[in-house]
Chain A
Amino acid sequence: DVKVTQSSRYLVKRTGEKVFLECVQDMDHENMFWYRQDPGLGLRLIYFSYDVKMKEKGDIPEGYSVSREKKERFSLILESASTNQTSMYLCASSPLAGGFYNEQFFGPGTRLTVL
């Protein structure tokens, strides 16, 4: 079974703090994704990566950065957390081979609260 794990289920940070959200997948997938989920807005793509050291902006990259130093790990960074970044963050991965019809596999999510 594909497993995507996220470093924390719940996280509380203060405004201005630097926040790291870690995601690890164990199926050797090339593609990895970071989404944020907000009520009524569904899932919105923040960043994604097709390979080590590669990154592409999604629909809402402002205020975020990412790092992919190893194939299995994709980190989301909030350089200076703000209250409007309070949200559920979901990581996902998928294989490159097969393209469009590959499902994405999701982690359990990190619920981040910024005070």
Chain B
Amino acid sequence: AQSVTQLGSHVSVSEGALVLLRCNYSSSVPPYLFWYVQYPNQGLQLLLKYTSAATLVKGINGFEAEFKKSETSFHLTKPSAHMSDAAEYFCAVSGTGNQFYFGTGTSLTVIP
């Protein structure tokens, strides 16, 4: 069975500071992992995905994530936060039939 856990339902950072959003996964098979972003009153947009080609994955808007099998983690980072990064972020793992299992989400606030 697959599942993900996002630690911290709310994260606040100052503009220009490092963004770190945590995701740990559980999977009985090699996992395929995804990060999505949701801006207010919009659907989800893919930030990046891990498909075993490389452990460090670069995505859109300056975000990246590192797959660490030993820690069962796939944390999302961005070196310098912008005001426009304020949104809800979801980690997900893919299962049988491309069914996704989502975390409960992390709301990111960027303080000017």
Contact = CB atoms under 8 A, between A and B. Distances in A.
Contact of B98 (A4, A41, A90, A104): A104
Contacts, number: 62
Interface residues on chain B, size class: 20 to 34
Contact of A100 (B32, B42, B90): B32
Interface residues of A, number: 31
Interface string A31-43: 1010100001111
Interface of B: 9, 32, 34, 36, 41-46, 49, 51, 90, 94-95, 97-100, 102-105
Leading 6 A-B pairs by shortest Cβ distance: A106-B43, A42-B104, A101-B51, A43-B102, A106-B44, A100-B94
Interface of A: 4, 9, 31, 33, 35, 40-45, 48, 50, 56, 58, 90, 92, 94, 96, 99-109, 111
